[in-house]
Amino acid sequence: MSTGTLTIDLGALAANWHALAKIAQVETAAVVKADGYGLGIERVGRHLAEAGARQFFVAVAEEGVILRRALGSGPVISVLSGHMHGDADAIAGANLTPMINSVDQMLHHVEALPAHPFGIQLDTGMNRLGMEPSEWSALREIALAQNPTLLMSHLACADESDHPMNEHQRAQFEDMTQGLDVPRSLAATGGTLLGDDFHFDMVRPGIGLFGGLPFAAAQPVITLDLPVIQIRDVAAGETVGYSNAWTAKAPSKIATVSGGYADGLIRAMGPNAKFHCDGMAVPVVGRISMDLITVDVTALPTPPASLQLIGAKQSVDAVGDFASTIGYEVLTSLGARYTRKWVQ
């Protein structure tokens, strides 16, 4: 096989959802935007529904349509971008619930789809999506008269448990929604881990379902193994890769593996990245190119047939650290060329 193998553990995915639901002890949704964090929204969505999830969140209506086809008519599918112009047919046809973000969206929604369910997103300080306090105050009674299904906001610093912004946003959300007979949701994965005060009526984990931080107790969901195409002997003083970026200080064995930045393996991680083989770490040398990565396997006792980048020894967040980025970017960038293997 000449392409990498991306193994997706659906059992671990379900276990992570159950673990977060147990922590929250309230309705636990599943955020499956960006094609199920790059792993396939249809397979991921169906398995989470089988595990018990009845509420799902996507970024845009187009994702919601795909998910509805996979899940059927039962679960609620909410669209975080709200009701954008041109989305009415998709929202109505797939029975999606837009999370309204502004007065303009509110007016557009009730005109285009009167009596169709919607939720409302409130801005509690992140300044990204949602109605600001003054906007919400002006629209509140009109919006409530339309019977929204959910009031939600999003935490900016939930991955830092002691950050003062968390309590500031919680208090703001409480102030904007207190006394209203509408379900409320503030917490994604990080907020779920902050404790009961942040749970309200629903939590919405995303990255934690897929094995990413800040859910450190998550089970690993993916492994990524890349086949070795060739192993060559490189003499001391010889260089490897574009721009002669690495020079051998001693005689070395260099493995060239199938994978590169066209497969979502970020070029910037090259100088710091490591692969693993039978528990041993081996370093990337030279630059990561479009389709190929060179790895110094001199320390291995036998020539490897493949090398593992993501797995039990190295998480998506560790790989993100190599490129000074986060596990989200690594996970959602994994390319289409991999052979995908689903296990339970």
Q: Is residue 292 one of the residues assigned to a domain?
A: yes
Residue 59 shares a structural domain with residue 168: yes
pLDDT in tens, 200-213: 999 999 999 999 99
pLDDT value at 159 more than 90: yes
* Residue 47 main-chain phi, psi, to 5 deg: -70, -40
69-90 mean pLDDT: 97
Residue 73 shares a structural domain with residue 204: yes
Q: Is residue 3 one of the residues assigned to a domain?
A: no
- Rounded Cα distance, 54 and 61, in Å: 18
CATH at residue 159: 3.20.20.10
Q: What is the mean pLDDT of the chain?
A: 96
Instruction: Just list the catalytic residues.
Output: 33, 242
Angle between helical axes of 133-145 and 164-177 (0-180°, round to 10)? 40
Residue 166 shares a structural domain with residue 275: no
Maximum Cα–Cα distance across the chain: 76
Taking CA atoms, 321 is separated from 274, 315, 324, 327, in Å, by 11, 10, 5, 8
Please identify, among 158, 176, 210, the residue that sits at the C-terminal boundary of a domain: 210
Residue 151 shares a structural domain with residue 20: yes
In the chain, beta strands by DSSP E: 5-9, 27-28, 30-31, 55-58, 76-79, 97-100, 119-121, 151-152, 184-187, 202-203, 222-234, 239-240, 246-247, 252-258, 274-277, 280-285, 292-296, 306-310, 339-343
- Looking at per-residue pLDDT, the higher value among 138 and 234 belongs to 234
Please identify, among 210, 236, 269, the residue that sits at the C-terminal boundary of a domain: 210
CB 316 within 8 A of CB 211: yes
Count of the separate structural domains present in the chain: 2
Please identify, among 210, 235, 255, the residue that sits at the C-terminal boundary of a domain: 210
Residue 39 shares a structural domain with residue 137: yes
pLDDT value at 344 more than 70: yes
Residue 123 shares a structural domain with residue 179: yes
pLDDT band at 271, cuts 50/70/90?
Answer: confident
* Residue 126 main-chain phi, psi, to 5 deg: -80, -25
pTM for this entry: 0.95
pLDDT value at 1 more than 70: no
pLDDT value at 332 more than 80: yes
CATH at residue 305: 2.40.37.10
Residue 107 shares a structural domain with residue 154: yes
Residue 75 shares a structural domain with residue 170: yes
* N-term to C-term CA, the chain: 23
Q: Is residue 1 one of the residues assigned to a domain?
A: no
Residue 233 shares a structural domain with residue 198: no
SS3 at position 292:
strand
DSSP string, 307-328: EEEEBTTB-HHHHHHHTTS-HH
Amino acid sitting at position 3 = T
11-30 mean pLDDT: 98
Q: What 8-state DSSP symbol labels residue 210? A: G
Sign, CA dihedral 259-265-267-268, equals: negative
Domain extent, residue 338, equals: 222-343
Residue 51 shares a structural domain with residue 169: yes
